[in-house]
């Protein structure tokens, strides 16, 4: 606690120091590589304004997360007495984190969300991989239109669908069961993934598949051995995207499941930590931040191929 307290008290100073250390390391590395010449010095000076601008934008992007991080450790007194996001006036505390993990079903929310997310990703891939491939390669005159029609499904908002969907869920006996979400979520993840994936498949030259066909494989094998490995970045970004779609879905999760321990993160966290107009800010922010970090990392890793996936189909038509 002593170390954590010290780190949090000096959080911003440490952040600046860390940044300066990184800059110093970078410059040292360049000098090691190219020598401490005037030209090198001039280069560093010339590039500095650029990095300053980048840094400013980085700060804007990161500030919400940093503030969430700091607030998670604040005592009620510190938080509510004239909000002051950047400093600790009272010693930081772990009591809210403790409450989040021990007095709420946060871990169960995570477990439910992960189970639902993984199951939906698998169902989505099984359904949308062949559909996307068909849409990319084997469309006749009606194929493209059928694809459009499927995308229309995605445009019908859940706010219209949740009542009929709820009746179906009850009919299936899945009320209060995360299974209900596994059944319903593909209704919006499949059309979306299908369009995303077909963009990636269209980018694989048809001759490669034809070569595989001539080399002695049938169409399924050609797909598995040539098209699939080549569109792996696209498939991974589809997985990330589908997973986050299920992660932030709210209305189905709220309606289908009333039992707290069966709820997912997106529903469980706000219902447990907002009671009427009372917001338990610290555990709320901590809960959001903890789940945001892995998702943010995954997005950043696959950002390039994700953007590629969105634009590819559009350009090729």
- Give the one residue of 83, 157, 229, 296 binding another protein; rule: CB under 8 A: 229
Is residue 221 part of the contact set for another protein (CB under 8 A)?
A: yes
Is residue 194 part of the contact set for another protein (CB under 8 A)?
A: no
3-state helix, strand and coil shares in percent for the chain, rounded to the nearest 5: 80, 0, 20
At residue 275, φ and ψ (nearest 5 deg) are -110, 110
Which burial class, exposed, middle or buried, applies to 290 when counting CB atoms under 10 A from its CB (0-12, 13-18, 19+)?
middle
Sole window of 70-78, 117-125, 217-225, 254-262 interacting with another protein (rule: CB under 8 A) = 217-225
Q: Specify the DSSP element, H or E, that contains 249.
A: none
- Give the one residue of 91, 98, 144, 215 binding another protein; rule: CB under 8 A: 215
CA 238 to chain centre: 11
Q: Reduced to 3 states, what is the DSSP secondary structure of residue 274?
A: strand
Per DSSP, which regions of the chain are E strands?
274-275, 278-279
Is residue 207 part of the contact set for another protein (CB under 8 A)?
A: yes
* Residue written as token pair 């304004």: 49
Is residue 214 part of the contact set for another protein (CB under 8 A)?
A: yes
Closest CA to 287 of 57, 104, 61, 22: 104
Sole window of 90-98, 218-226, 248-256, 283-291 interacting with another protein (rule: CB under 8 A) = 218-226
Least Cβ distance, residue 231 to another protein (angstroms): 10
Q: Reduced to 3 states, what is the DSSP secondary structure of residue 87?
A: coil
Sole window of 29-37, 120-128, 212-220, 289-297 interacting with another protein (rule: CB under 8 A) = 212-220
- Give the one residue of 42, 58, 211, 307 binding another protein; rule: CB under 8 A: 211
Sole window of 69-77, 187-195, 214-222, 301-309 interacting with another protein (rule: CB under 8 A) = 214-222
User: Are 105 and 260 in contact, with CB atoms under 8 Å apart?
Assistant: yes
Give dist(CA 315, CA 202) in Å, integer: 10
Residue 203: partners with Cβ closer than 8 Å, 6 or more residues away: 231, 234, 312, 316
Give dist(CA 209, CA 25) in Å, integer: 48
Nearer CB in complex with another protein: 216/276? 216
Site string for another protein, 82-101 (x = CB under 8 A): --------------------
Is residue 212 part of the contact set for another protein (CB under 8 A)?
A: yes
Least Cβ distance, residue 212 to another protein (angstroms): 7
Tokens of 68: 């969430």
Is residue 138 part of the contact set for another protein (CB under 8 A)?
A: no
Is residue 203 part of the contact set for another protein (CB under 8 A)?
A: no
Is residue 220 part of the contact set for another protein (CB under 8 A)?
A: no
Is residue 217 part of the contact set for another protein (CB under 8 A)?
A: yes
Least Cβ distance, residue 232 to another protein (angstroms): 8
User: Are 31 and 248 in contact, with CB atoms under 8 Å apart?
Assistant: no
User: Are 184 and 252 in contact, with CB atoms under 8 Å apart?
Assistant: yes
Helices 281-301, 303-316: inter-axial angle, 10-degree rounding:
60
- Give the one residue of 208, 224, 303, 307 binding another protein; rule: CB under 8 A: 208
Is residue 230 part of the contact set for another protein (CB under 8 A)?
A: yes
Site string for another protein, 236-265 (x = CB under 8 A): ------------------------------
Please give the residue ranges that form the binding site for another protein (CB under 8 A).
Answer: 205, 207-208, 210-218, 221, 225-226, 229-230
């Amino acid at each position: 606690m002593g170390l954590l307290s010290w780190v949090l008290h000096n959080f911003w100073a440490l952040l600046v120091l860390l940044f300066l250390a990184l800059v110093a390391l970078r410059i040292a590395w360049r000098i090691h590589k190219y020598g401490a010449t005037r030209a090198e010095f001039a280069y560093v000076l010339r590039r500095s304004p650029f990095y300053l601008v980048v840094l400013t934008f980085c700060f804007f992007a990161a500030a919400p997360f940093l503030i969430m991080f700091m607030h998670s450790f604040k005592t009620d007194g510190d938080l509510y007495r004239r909000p002051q996001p950047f400093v600790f006036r009272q010693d930081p505390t772990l009591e809210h984190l403790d409450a989040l993990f021990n007095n709420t079903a946060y871990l169960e929310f995570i477990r439910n969300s992960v189970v639902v997310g993984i199951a939906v990703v698998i169902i989505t891939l099984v359904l949308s991989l062949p559909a996307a491939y068909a849409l990319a390669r084997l469309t006749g005159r009606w194929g493209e239109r059928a694809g459009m029609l499927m995308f229309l499904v995605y445009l019908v908002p859940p706010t219209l669908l949740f009542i009929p969907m709820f009746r179906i869920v009850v009919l299936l006996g899945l009320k209060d069961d995360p299974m209900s979400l596994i059944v319903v979520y593909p209704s919006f993840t499949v059309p979306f993934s299908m369009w995303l994936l077909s963009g990636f498949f269209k980018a694989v030259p048809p001759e490669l598949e034809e070569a595989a066909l001539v080399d002695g494989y049938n169409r399924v094998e050609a797909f598995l051995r040539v098209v699939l490995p080549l569109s792996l970045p696209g498939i991974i970004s589809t997985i990330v995207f589908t997973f986050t779609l299920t992660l932030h879905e709210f209305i189905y999760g709220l309606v289908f499941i009333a039992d707290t321990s069966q709820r997912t993160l997106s529903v469980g966290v706000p219902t447990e930590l907002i009671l009427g107009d009372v917001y338990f800010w610290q555990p709320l922010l901590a809960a959001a931040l903890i789940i945001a970090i892995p998702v943010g990392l995954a997005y950043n890793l696959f950002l390039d191929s994700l953007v590629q996936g969105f634009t590819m189909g559009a350009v090729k038509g």
